[in-house]
A and B are shown apart, each in its own frame.
Chain A
Amino acid sequence: QKEVEQNSGPLSVPEGAIASLNCTYSDRGSQSFFWYRQYSGKSPELIMSIYSNGDKEDGRFTAQLNKASQYVSLLIRDSQPSDSATYLCAVNPSDTGRRALTFGSGTRLQVQP
C-alpha cells in the first residue's frame, strides 16, 4: 500500500461545476495535510493546508479532513479552465525520524470550457 494514494485521473468536469479530489493516507498518526497545485512544466504551489478534522474553506477551495477514515479531500467550486492542473496531496508523517512531506502521485484535473 502506498503511503499517500490519489486517483491519477484525469478527472474531467465542465466549467462551473464542483471538482472533488480525494486522497487517502496510511499513517494514522499524521497531523498535517497539504494540497498543492502543479501546472504542466511548473513547480508545485501550495493552495490549502489543513490540520483538524472537518472543513476549511478558502475562496473557491474547501479542504476536508477525516482522520478516523484517513481521508482528505479538496473541493473546487465553480471550476474554471485555469484550474486545469495536477493536484498533489501531501502528508506530514508522524514518525519524527522521517522529516519530510510524503506526496501522492497526483490527480490530473481537466476543466472543460
Chain B
Amino acid sequence: NAGVTQTPKFQVLKTGQSMTLQCAQDMNHNSMYWYRQDPGMGLRLIYYSASEGTTDKGEVPNGYNVSRLNKREFSLRLESAAPSQTSVYFCASRRDIYTGELFFGEGSRLTVL
C-alpha cells in the first residue's frame, strides 16, 4: 500500500530554472494538498485541490502553479525558481475537503542556488 508518493525526493536547481514536483495517491481520496516546511515556520499551505477539476490558493501560493491531472495526481510547478523557494515540500491527501486526517508523502527536498 503506497499511500502518497512524491517525486523527486531531492532536487537542486539554479535560480530561474523550472521544475515540477509530482504527487500521486492510491487511497481514492478526493482532496489533495501541497505544503512547504521551513525551519521554525511549520507547515504552510501552498495550494490545494478539493476535488478533481478544482484548485485553490493556500497561504503562500506566489511563485507556484498546480495541476490536478486526475483524481490520483496533483502536481506542483515552479516556473522560475528563487532561493526563497528552498524548502521541503510535502504532498498530502485526505478523504474529503472538510473532514479527516491528512496523509503525507515522504517529502521533496528542494534547494535553489
Contacts and interface: CB of A to CB of B under 8 A. Distances in A.
Interface in B5-53: 31, 33, 35, 40-43, 45, 48, 50
Interface stretch (A12-20, A43-51, A54-62): A43-51
B99 interface: yes
Contacts of B106: 42-43
B48 to A, nearest CB: 5
A103 B98 contact: no
Interface residues of B, number: 23
Interface in A32-71: 32, 34, 42-46, 49
A106 B107 contact: no
Given A32-B99, A92-B99, A43 B107 contact: yes
Contact of B42 (A32, A43, A46, A104): A104
B60 interface: no
A57 B43 CA distance: 26
A32 B90 CA distance: 21
Contacts of B35: 103
B45 A100 contact: yes
A105 interface: yes
B43 A103 contact: yes
Interface in B77-104: 90, 97-99, 101-104
A85 to B, nearest CB: 14
A109 interface: no
Given A88-B42, A105-B41, A99 B31 contact: yes
Contacts of A44: 43, 90, 102, 104
A88 B40 CA distance: 12
A49 B101 CA distance: 8
Contacts of A100: 33, 45, 48, 58
A43 B101 contact: no
A43 B98 CA distance: 22
Given A43-B90, A103-B42, 9 more contacts: A8-B40, A42-B107, A44-B104, A46-B103, A88-B42, A99-B48, A100-B33, A103-B43, A106-B42
